Amino acid sequence: MSLATASSTMVGRDAELACLDDALRRAEAGEAASQLIGGEAGIGKSRLTSEFRRSVAGRATVLTGWCLDYGSTPAPYGPLPAILRGVLDALGDAADEAAGPGRDALQLLLPERAAGPIDRSSIRPEGLGETIANLLEAAAATRPVVVIVEDLHWADAATLSMLSFLLRALAGRAVLFLLTCRVDEVRRGGPIRTFLAEAERARLLERLPLARLDAIAVRDLIFGLRGAVDDAELVRLVERSEGVPFFIEELLCKPEGPLPDTLRDVLLARFDGLGDDARRVVQLASGAEGPIAHELLAELFAGGDERLDDALRETMTAGILTIHDGEAYGFRHALLREAVHDDLLPGERARLHRNYAELLEHTGGSEAALAYHWHQARDAPRALAASVRAMQQAKNAYAFSTAARFGELALELWDQVPDAGAVAGTERISFLARLGSILRNGGDGERALAVVTLALDELDPATAEPAAHARLLRDRALYLQNLGRHGTVPLLLEALEVIDRDPGEAQLRATLLNFLGGRHLTGARLEQAVATSDEAFRIAEAAGSENAMSVAANLRGCARVHLGQVTAGLADFRLSWEHAIDHDSQLRHRVNYADTLNLLGRFREAVEVAELGVAHSRTLGVERATGSVLSHNMVEPLIELGEIDRAEAATARDLQVRTLQIFRLYSTMSRIRTLVWRGRIAEAEALLAEWRPRAEATAEVERQVWYSLRSVEILIALGDGDPLRAAEALQRTLDDDGTRTAQLIRILLEGARVVADLRADGHTDLAGTTAAALRAAWRSLPVELQIPGWGTVIDVVLDADAAMLAEAVRLADGDGIPAVFAPIVRLELARTRAATGDRAAAAELGAEALARAERLGHDRLRRRAAEFLDAAGLRRASDAGTGASTTPGSGTGTAAALVGSATGVGVADLTARERQVLELVAEGLSNRQIGERLFISAKTASVHVSAILRKLSVATRTEAAVLARTASPAPATDPA
């Protein structure tokens, strides 16, 4: 009988194939179009990707990697080596340059690229993802790239983390990811389900489900396999296979006689018809986690080359094994492997895996494979030793989540092994400390806390080494901090008491003091933060620890600014930079310094500091990883400058590394601010509701989160047109008896807007009492925190004095005043003019306020200005019925009609950044070249160019360049 099992023509998947083709076209056009091809086992996921691979071979570079079945402890980065080798081959001699400065990180996955032992000191953890993204991006610049990851349901956590990074980092590039997955087998709450949910929610991944075949498609498939089918047999096959293509193929193996009763019988039907040698080969192959090399199979078979060749031919004729990549053998379908492996007796299975493990030990197999096979062989001592080594190997590759899986397997085996410490090569307490650190770096804060707590419970303080004991206490404090919980300060104080017994650990003491100073700072215990940082700096200086000195000066500078000692605090930041000798301390300096400059109203400087950090990250090859932290650090000052397009670009791009919950809280609050700005109030409220429980809990230990919560509450209320609710939230902030920090000054400035809205809506009494409370709060601030320009704006808006408002218009247009006050001050002045009967001036000022609000894209201010003009009857007769523009920054609608060409948007009205971009457009630079010149991404440059064209009401870059030249002296040549 014929055992042909694969139809030459795919049936029933034309629509899905067309969907993949459309996804590739969209990816070429710069859209996120990656696909999750989901369906049950045997439904045809791999066949679909194979057919698509064949159909696009002439127009795209196709790279394929496979996740392998290692049970509960998969190898790190399973599919990535094959994908990397493919893209390196595609790039050829250009690969090294394309990889960028972090190219050495490739050695972690491709050891053959290393001339000798890998120097991990030169490789940053986040550099691997950045380098892979660079390679794929470079390949996609020549022709579209399709990355296929098969069997995602077996993916390890490191692969999922990398895919999450790549999907975001390459969004907008001509790279299409196709992921196949048995979605029905993915465990609820597990890492794969979480990855899929987050990717789909971020619209980075679209689901393409594969349904079972209908009767017509089943007939077509059978016809392709057998050439003919009668109606009775078709009915039976449709009923038994339920439309699953793989089951149809297997059922056709027994064209005569009764159909098998169970799925297991169906899958084993081919196997049962083999000869003894062929059956043995299939059983041996079933023990491998993936395709098995010929040499390894020959060693395990031990029956001679000719018998092996004959057996292999028989298995391939039977449609069980296939040749994989020309060098190995794999099962035609994973279900066949699972059925054969599960059919082994327990003793047979254990002996099979023991043979694998012993052979791999002699041939240098991976530690992950050894851990898997020794565990399956039920050899606890060897499984423990291999698991600990596999944990370290995965950690060395920065695959922390996968390392944690091996560490937890080792912990599970520990009690089963006599003298486990000797077998594992490490004492239990030290092992638990390492595992806790790995779990924390892998993003599992709860489990990290549980493991370090277990270590402290088992530690004997009387006999433990003080430094080891202190580090465990520090780790527990750090894990509590990352989870936003109480208890960190007592733990750090206890650690300092412990380390007092070991005077030789000065550097550790300085580190502990810096941790403690940081906790005092975030808890707004500012005097204690200064004193603790002072001590840390002195000890670090004596120990010669430059980085610890940098951190101490950094923390002290932050605390002094919050105390109102601004001059001294800024001096500390300069000192911090002098001692920042590595990337981490430089990153920390720039993050805190940019935040401080933003608090002090020095918005442009804050952006520049963050941009310098991003540029530095680019030189290290981690721009899309660590650099993204600093990109997000620019969001707040960009909002204040009114550069909302850039702010949105940063908030829309999720962080490319696993981030701590506390940082995600800050970035979420920034996202809420941009949503409110655009008038998307319902989305902002929903996001706040989602994060409020975590934010409120964290606010109990982090004062900055408390202020951030109060700020977005006020902004949402104002954006919703409810100044009463805004006033209530403001009063709660003013009445709070907690420590006041520099975050309060921006809320006081926003309070002036609250008063203006209350007064405009007729709540004059409440406006008066709120204004009095604001004045008192402002005057109670330390003198150095009373930013002169801000105090003036507060006074003029609260007083609504026409003369003062007129003088404040120019002040409100400066970079040192939040951009929203340019339309606010004009609108308040327009109200005073209308109240005195000067309708012409009121109309002009109201139109200017509206134009400014539209230019900023600020929804609520635009509506406020339009409402004033309507209520005061100040629209021109020709504008009746046109209404305000509903497209922020469009330059059409009421603002354009009222302001006219004399007050329309010109080059001088662009933001400072937009004017920079326009100058480079006039030089003839592309978006990528503009990005390189200004240390921003090409995508961000594109956003600026689009905004410029829209604001100047021109259609092309050339027209914009012409306008730029009419506004400034022209160069000698005209590259545009």
Looking at the chain, the whole-number percentage of residues with pLDDT higher than 90 is 47
At residue 976, does pLDDT exceed 50? no
Strand partners, 329: 292, 323
Which element (helix H / strand E) includes 36?
strand 35-38
> Residue 364: is its pLDDT beyond 90?
no
Is pLDDT above 80 for 698?
Answer: yes
Least confident span in 65-69, 340-344, 791-795: 65-69
The residues, any chain, with a CB within 8 Å of residue 250's CB and separated by 6 or more, are 5, 266, 267, 269, 270
Q: Could you tell me which residue, 295 or 746, shows the higher pLDDT?
A: 746
pLDDT digits (tens, 9 = 90+) for 236-249: 777 667 777 777 77
Quote the pLDDT of residue 249: 73
**Confidence band, pLDDT 50/70/90 cuts, at residue 1:** very low
Please give the DSSP secondary-structure letter assigned to residue 546. Answer: H
Residue among 467, 424, 465, 473 nearest 449 (CA):
473
User: Residue 69 corresponds to which tokens in the numbers above?
Assistant: 């079945």
Query: Can you tell me the distance from the alpha carbon of 640 to that of 714, in angstroms, rounded to the nearest whole number?
Result: 16
Q: pLDDT for 309-331, tens place per residue? A: 999 999 988 878 888 777 789 88
Pick from 891, 941, 889, 950: which is nearest to 919 by CA? 941
CA dist 674 → 632, 744, 856 (Å): 13, 20, 12
Confidence of residue 118 (pLDDT cuts 50, 70, 90): low
Residue 257 has a pLDDT of 47
Strand partners for 62: 146
Residue 785 φ/ψ region, left for φ over 0, alpha for ψ in the -120 to 50 degree band, beta for the rest: alpha
* pLDDT score at 903: 36
Q: How confident is the model at residue 260 (pLDDT cuts 50, 70, 90)?
A: low
463 vs 284: CA distance, rounded Å: 51
pLDDT of residue 971: 37
Q: For 148-157, 343-352, 813-822, 909-918, which range has the lowest pLDDT when averaged over its residues?
A: 909-918
Closest by Cα among 913, 933, 920, 903 to 964: 920
175-181 β-sheet, strand order: 61-66, 145-150, 175-181, 35-38, 206-209
Q: In this predicted structure, what is the pLDDT of residue 629?
A: 66
Asked if 144 and 27 touch (Cβ cutoff 8 Å), the reply is: yes
Burial class (CB in 10 A: 0-12, 13-18, 19+), 514: buried
In whole angstroms, give the CA distance from residue 368 to residue 285: 18
Residues ≥6 apart with Cβ < 8 Å to 955: 949
pLDDT band at residue 531 under the 50/70/90 scheme: very high
What three-state secondary structure class fits 888? coil
Q: In what order do the strands lie in the sheet with 292-293?
A: 292-293, 328-331, 321-324
Angle of helix 821-835 relative to helix 788-799, nearest 10 degrees? 30
- 3-state secondary structure at position 880: coil
CB 613 within 8 A of CB 627: yes
Which DSSP symbol is given to 9? S
pLDDT digits (tens, 9 = 90+) for 894-904: 333 333 333 34
Which carries the bigger pLDDT value, residue 879 or residue 738?
738
Backbone φ/ψ region at 181: left (φ over 0), alpha (ψ -120 to 50), beta: beta
- Within 10 Å of residue 944's Cβ, how many Cβ atoms? 27
The closest of 541, 847, 595, 940 to 741, measured between CA atoms, is 595
DSSP state of 640: H
- pTM above the 0.85 mark? no
Of 688 and 634, the structure prediction assigns the larger pLDDT to: 688
* Conformation bin of residue 30: beta by default, left when phi > 0, alpha when psi is -120 to 50: left
Q: What is the rounded CA–CA span in Å between residue 885 and residue 891?
A: 8
Predicted confidence at residue 261, as pLDDT, reads 52
The structure tokens listed for 872 are: 């005061």
Strand duo 206-209 + 35-38: pairing = parallel
In whole angstroms, what separates CA 337 from the centre of its chain? 36
pLDDT higher than threshold 50 for residue 681: yes
H-run or E-run covering 58: none
In the chain, pLDDT over 70 holds for what percent of residues? 87
Residue 966, pLDDT > 80, answer no
Q: Is 592 exposed, middle or buried (0-12, 13-18, 19+ CB in 10 A)?
A: buried
- Give the CA distances from residue 332 to residues 150, 226, 250, 670, 765, in Å, rounded to whole numbers and listed in that order: 14, 19, 11, 50, 80
Structure confidence by residue, pLDDT tens digits, 185-228:
777 667 888 888 888 887 888 999 888 887 777 777 777 776 66
Per-residue model confidence as pLDDT tens digits over 770-814: 999 999 999 999 999 999 899 999 999 999 999 999 989 999 998
Angle between helices 428-441 and 466-482 (to 10 degrees): 30
Bridge-based pairing state of the strands 35-38 and 175-181? parallel
What pLDDT, on a 0 to 100 scale, did the predictor assign at position 120? 66
